[in-house]
């Protein structure tokens, strides 16, 4: 994707600056930007390493496993097809918990495992089942307790209160997830017959 977006940005802005804009400003901005990227990365290092370390501790304990219990009623509502498949339910809830805790590295392999298990039960191998569709959209909704990366960025830019966004993020992410789930439920109904 960036192979398309990046050259478009460069061509648009550089040619616009040469013909209409301020070429000196562009020059100083180029060097300032590289410097900013380095500064941001250095500042990100602290927060990201700290959080990654804490989450490594979490993944060594049984905390993910324990938390999956809370999701049971939600899973039953979201994936009616899988009522008789406790193993897949477990894989799905482990992926969701890992996402909620912000364990990106653990969440993806768990999610792909769940996808493969669902594919085994899929009667039509080239088409997503209802459960798969629901599962993917939930994964794109980014339900996360602590938005670590943004907090790290805010911190690096000298925010007075980097974590002030946590509660607003919860509200936005929950609204987004609910709408995503409703949209999938509608799409499942609409596309039921066009196999």
Partner 1 sequence: MKLVNFISNLAMPLIILIIVIYGLKEKKNVFDDFLDGAKEGLGIVINILPTLIGLFVAIGALRSSGILDLIINILNPLLSIVKFPTELMPLAMLRPISGSSSIAIATDIMRNYGTDTPLGMMASVIMGSTETTLYTIAVYTSCVKIKKTRYILLAALTADIVGIITSIIVCQFFV
Give residues 51-70 in contact with partner 1 (rule: CB under 8 A).
51-58, 60-63
Residue 141 phi, psi (nearest 5): -85, -15
Judged by CB under 8 A, does residue 74 bind partner 1?
no
Q: How far apart are CA 20 and CA 43, in angstroms?
A: 35
x/- track of binding to partner 1 for residues 117-136 (CB under 8 A)? -xx--x--xxxx---xx-xx
Long-range contacts of 40-43 (CB under 8 A, 24+ apart): 40/153, 40/156, 43/152, 43/155, 43/156
**Is residue 10 at the binding interface for partner 1, with CB under 8 A as the rule?**
yes
Residue/partner pairs of 3-6 with CB below 8 Å, 24 or more apart: none
* Choice from 65, 74, 86, 145 touching partner 1 (CB under 8 A): 145
Select from 78, 82, 96, 115 the one that contacts partner 1 (CB under 8 A).
115
84 near partner 1 (CB under 8 A): no
3-state secondary structure of 105: helix
In terms of Cα–Cα distance, which of 58, 59, 56, 38 is closest to 48? 56
Smallest separation, CB 188 to partner 1 (Å): 8
| Residue with the two structure tokens 């994964």 | 139
Provide the 3-class DSSP secondary structure of residue 85.
coil
- What residues numbered 159-178 form the site for partner 1, per CB under 8 A? 159-169, 171-173, 175-177
Residue from 84, 123, 140, 193 touching partner 1 (CB under 8 A): that is 140
CB of 65 to partner 1, least distance (A): 11
Q: In which region does residue 158 sit, left (phi positive, over 0), alpha (psi from -120 to 50) or beta (all else)? A: left
Q: Which is nearer to partner 1, 62 or 84 (CB)?
A: 62
* Selected binder of partner 1 within 6, 77, 79, 84 (CB under 8 A): 6
Contact stretch for partner 1 (CB under 8 A) within 70-78, 85-93, 137-145 = 137-145
């Amino acid at each position: 994707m960036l192979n398309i977006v990046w050259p478009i940005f460069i061509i648009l802005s550089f040619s616009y600056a040469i013909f209409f804009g301020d070429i000196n400003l562009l020059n100083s901005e180029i060097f300032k930007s590289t410097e900013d990227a380095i500064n941001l990365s250095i500042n990100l290092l602290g927060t990201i390493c700290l959080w990654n370390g804490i989450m490594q501790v979490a993944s060594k304990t049984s905390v993910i496993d324990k938390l999956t219990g809370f999701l049971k009623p939600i899973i039953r509502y979201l994936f009616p097809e899988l009522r008789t498949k406790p193993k897949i339910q477990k894989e799905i809830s482990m992926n969701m918990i890992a996402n909620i805790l912000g364990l990106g590295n653990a969440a993806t392999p768990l999610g792909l495992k769940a996808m493969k298990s669902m594919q085994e039960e899929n009667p039509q191998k080239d088409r997503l089942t209802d459960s798969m569709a629901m599962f993917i959209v939930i994964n794109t909704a980014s339900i996360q307790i602590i938005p670590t990366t943004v907090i790290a960025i805010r911190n690096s830019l000298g925010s007075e209160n980097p974590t002030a966004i946590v509660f607003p993020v919860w509200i936005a992410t929950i609204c987004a997830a609910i709408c995503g789930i409703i949209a999938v439920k509608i799409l499942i109904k609409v596309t039921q017959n066009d196999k």
